[in-house]
Structure 1
Amino acid sequence: MLPARRRRKGPAAGRLLAAALTLGLAACQANREEAVAPSATPEVAPAALAANPVAPAFRGLAGWEADDHAAALATFLNSCPWFADQPASLALDYPDSSTGTVADWRRVCADAQRLPAGDGPAARRFFEQRFRPIAMEHADGSRDGLFTGYYAPRLRGDWQPSATYATPLYSLPDWAPGERRPTRADIAQGALAGRNLELIWVDDPVDAFFLEIQGSGLVDMADGELIGVRYIGQNGHGYVPVGRVLIDWGEATADDMSMEVIRAWLAANPDRAQALMNENPSYVFFERRGPDAIVGNLDVPLTAERSLAVDWGHVPRGAPVWLDIADDPTVPGGSLRRLMVAQDTGGAIRGAVAGDVFWGFGDDAAAHASGMRARGQLTVLVPAAAAAER
């Protein structure tokens, strides 16, 4: 059995880290410290690695040996620039556990960068030697949580409003202290008008609504430019799934619910579409990004079927995480047991055992994402040096 996250006796460290992550990391980038040297590791031939059995600490992870660890390693390496930009002494403490300091993570990154690309046995051995698995759990000790999917949609937009491009995507407001945050309905009625917050304008309010759910996407601009946009914040109101609203209205059943069902209902009921969307008071704000890659809120490229969006109040940024979904018809093949990396977050993801799988681009990705609503378990891989101090 895998060890669960231990409850820390005092929450002060977790609160301090939350403040540091939300308020201080941008300022810390000017203080970038020297890289941490790799740990002393004996070289092991790939053939010997392949012959080695699974390390004892990882035997509780069903499907671990069969995974593509080289693909997971390549995804993890994308996280390493984030660790390089933080102060080495920053402690990645959370309300109920510690996952080491940035220096610990830099060391494992340095080791990872020494490995040959595409060598699955070497990658597996790296994860087994450099990390220890810690099972995530809810406050009541239960381990099952909800996992959904997301993808990168493609919209059409313009820099100025017109009869065709009439739906704005807003940048994050600079809220005044004590200012009431408008709901989605308020914003639809013009609550943010006149504040010069319009990032771009798009041609379909339903596409804009689903972009909020996905968190990032591409936009084909009317002048021929292709831009990326991504989640940068939300209005502070709780997320209400409109699929559940449709069920409550008697317009759909729980068994049939999916993003396709919601989209079809919105298209068939344009006179009620805004009313349905307004049932979700949460509203997402965006920032512009380049078109080369979809990046998550870690500011690193997302990898299809390897990047996971999580609640960063519980799961460390950039960490490898083992996702275990078994016997669920909403995921391709009925199960998803895979080493992923926590490289994104979203306003609707809450708790220690929850996440969104990034499925990539295109129709297949959209189909996988829209149909996914699975129960599963999550295990965080913590640097072995940090785990030894727990």
Structure 2
Amino acid sequence: MRYYLLTVFIVASLAGCVGKPPVEAPPAGVEIEALKRVQWDQVDGWLLDRPAAALVTFQQSCKAIASREKWQLVCAEADKISTPGEKNARDFFEQNFYPYQVRNSDGSADGLITGYYGPELSGSRIQTEEYRYPIYRLPDDMLIIDLDGLYPELGKYRLRGRVVGNRVVPYFDRSEIDNSDMPLSGQELFWVKDPVDLFFLHIQGSGRIRLPNGELVMVNYANQNGHPYRSIGKLLLEREVMTRDQMSMQNIRKWVAENPEAGKQLLAENPSYVFFRELSSEFQSPPGALGVPLTALRSLAVDPRTIPLGAPVFLSTTFPGTDFPLKQLMVAQDTGGAIKGEVRADFFWGMGNAAGKIAGKMKQEGFLWVLLPKEELVDPLQSQSENSALNDGTVN
């Protein structure tokens, strides 16, 4: 059996391994290399923000983290504030948290801040001549293999594959899924008009489908095919199709539209493929990795190896394409395949095309301060299973 699982690992590795959610950062009071305790007046822009909106967003986080020991007291205090205002919100954060500046492994404190959004696509529940491109649910034949039991050293990996005869092989990549054979026929959730819009839905991980009758339905990341993500933007840069100054989601979309055959080949060069689930009508904004609906302009995607999901995070950066300051309190409620590193974050701009235009231009230098509860309540070596229950990884 051990040799069989090892074979599975080797074969599936050809398609890429998807890491399991990492253990979250230590609780307040525990110094680690990436976090440096500072005073409130060292948080750049702290007094410039209006933090009531961030408190409401944090209260949403508490629906997911209040049962976790180190967050119980601070979430109980947040729950007492029924009408958040600017003064009582600021008092709440200053009285219950310590600020920690996030630093990179080389000791620097600046990093990349990008933006993301929830796209809206025109779609249908049935295939028509107008709606020809499928959004797939999690396929019935996809295996998800954990290696924790027999190979602890590989326990952070989760492998995807399928059974062919008596062998487990890598799951279909993008080019195989999208070819004319349609190997996932019967697994469609919706059909949409535009393949480029569908591609960007995969990158964002969540979005809305506008049906012909005007109904809006939210779809959200369900899982991924196990193949590594390959950035088409990076490919365009390497091939000198665009310069860094030209690079944006809008320009990529324009280039693909103007070069339909080359554009189709370009999209196929990203083998990663995302599967979706339909959410109930109560969701007007997509849930992030924390499981609560994201809040436009206040939710942040982070790398949870440094910043714990659910924690308030103060961001100091600039608005996309300008030098105008953007300094405000956010809440870490999401993760993303490209959000790796200490000082690295993705700013959620909201739903629809207007949010997408701003998000696609955001590539700013920024600084982060994570707020952690003053009470040191638990051992810093937190249970990994507790974190895994809250974060199964989304793609942004």
TM-score by length of 1: 0.75
Matched, 1:249 2:239: yes
Equivalent residue number for residue 175 of structure 1: 143
Q: SS at 2:245's partner residue?
A: coil
Q: In structure 2, what is the equivalent of residue 26 of structure 1?
A: none
Aligned to 2:299: 307
Q: 1:233 touches 1:347 (CA, 8 Å); kept in 2?
A: no
1:163 corresponding residue in structure 2: 129
**Contact map agreement 1:132 1:387 (CA 8 A) in 2:** no
Whether the 8 Å contact between 1:158 and 1:223 is mirrored in structure 2 is no
Asked if structure 1 preserves the Cα contact closer than 8 Å seen for 2:22 and 2:304, the reply is no
The alignment partner of 2:227 has SS state of: coil
Is the contact between residue 59 and residue 78 of structure 2 (CA under 8 Å) also seen in structure 1?
yes
The counterpart of 1:66, out of the listed 38, 43, 48, is: 48
Match of 1:265 among 255, 260, 275: 255
User: Do structure 1's residue 151 and structure 2's residue 143 form an aligned pair?
Assistant: no
Match of 2:270?
280
- After TM superposition, give the deviation of residue 187 of structure 1 in Å: 2.1
Which residue in 2 is equivalent to 1:184? 174
SS in 2 for 1:78: helix
Report the 3-state secondary structure (helix = DSSP H, G, I; strand = E; otherwise coil) of the residue aligned with 1:322: strand
State the Cα RMSD in Å.
2.7
Q: Which residue of 2 aligns with 1:27?
A: none
Unaligned runs of 5+ in 1: 1-16, 22-54, 89-101
Distance 1:176 1:233, change over 3 A: closer
1:132 aligns with 2:88: no
Alpha-carbon deviation of 1:142? 3.0
The CA distance in 2 between the partners of 1:194 and 1:261, in whole Å, is 31
Q: Distance in 2 between matches of 1:213 and 1:194?
A: 20
What CA distance in whole angstroms lies between the structure 2 residues aligned with 1:387 and 1:333? 41
Q: Distance in 2 between matches of 1:387 and 1:146?
A: 32
Quote how far apart the aligned CAs of 1:355 are: 1.7
Q: CA deviation at 1:128?
A: 1.1
Match of residue 226 from structure 1: 216
Q: 1:78 aligns with which of 60, 75, 82?
A: 60
Residues 70 and 375 in structure 2, CA contact (< 8 A), matched pair in contact too: yes
Q: State which drifts further: 63-72 or 340-349.
A: 340-349
One-letter amino acid matched to 1:305: L
Q: 1:363 to 1:199 in 2, by over 3 A?
A: closer
Residue 89 (structure 2) aligns with: 123
Deviation at 1:280, TM superposition (A): 2.1
Contact 1:133 1:382 (C-alpha < 8 Å) held by counterparts: yes
Match for 2:288 among 261, 271, 296?
296
For the residues of structure 2 that align with 1:316 and 1:191, how far apart are their CA atoms? Answer: 43
Which structure 2 residues correspond to residues 189-208 of structure 1 after superposition, within 5 A?
Answer: 189=179, 193-194=183-184, 196-208=186-198
CA drift of 1:308 comes to 0.6
Q: Is the 1:146–1:353 contact (alpha carbons within 8 Å) kept by the matching residues of 2?
A: yes
Asked if the contact 2:51/2:86 (under 8 Å) is kept, the reply is yes
Stretches of structure 2 that go unaligned for 5 or more consecutive residues are 1-19, 25-36, 146-167, 381-396
Cross-structure match for 2:315? 323
For residues 182 and 230 of structure 2, the distance between their equivalents in structure 1, rounded to whole angstroms, comes to 21
Match in the other structure for 1:364 = 354
Q: What is the match of residue 354 of structure 1? A: 344
Cα gap change, 1:345 to 1:329, in 2 (>3 Å)? closer
CA contact (8 A) 2:70 2:378 kept: no
Q: Given the superposition, is the C-alpha separation of residues 179 and 375 from structure 1 closer, same or farther in structure 2, using an over 3 Å criterion?
A: farther
AA matched with 2:288: G
Give the secondary-structure state (helix, strand or coil) at the position aligned to 1:151. strand
The residue that corresponds to 1:375 in the other structure is 365
Cα 1:117–1:378 change in 2 (3 A) is: same
* Secondary structure of the corresponding residue to residue 59 of structure 2: helix
Q: Counterpart of 1:371 in 2: which secondary structure?
A: coil
1:197 and 1:191 mapped to 2: Cα distance? 14
* Greater alpha carbon shift after TM alignment, 307-316 vs 66-75: 307-316
Aligned-partner Cα distance in 2 for 1:123–1:75: 11
Summarize deviations over 1:323-379 as a string: whole Å, max 9, x none. 122xx5635653322110011222222222222111113443222101101122222
Q: For residues 164-222 of structure 1, give each alpha carbon's deviation from its aligned partner in whole angstroms, at most 9, with x where no partner exists.
A: 22211122343254541333223222687246432221111111011122221110123
Match of 1:40 in 2: none
Q: Contact conserved, 1:58 with 1:64, CA < 8 A, in 2?
A: yes
For 2:186 and 2:214, locate their aligned partners in 1 and report how far apart those are by CA, in whole Å. Answer: 23
Q: Which has the higher contact order (CA 8 A, sep 6+)?
A: 2
Superposed CA offset, 1:26-79 (max 9, x none): xxxxxxxxxxxxxxxxxxxxxxxxxxxxx9721111100111111110111111
Measured in 1, the distance between the counterparts of 2:22 and 2:225 equals 19
In the alignment, structure 1 residue 57 sits paired with structure 2 residue 39? yes
Q: Distance in 2 between matches of 1:20 and 1:139?
A: 18
Structure with greater strand share of residues: 2
Equivalent residues, number: 323
SS at match of 1:227: strand
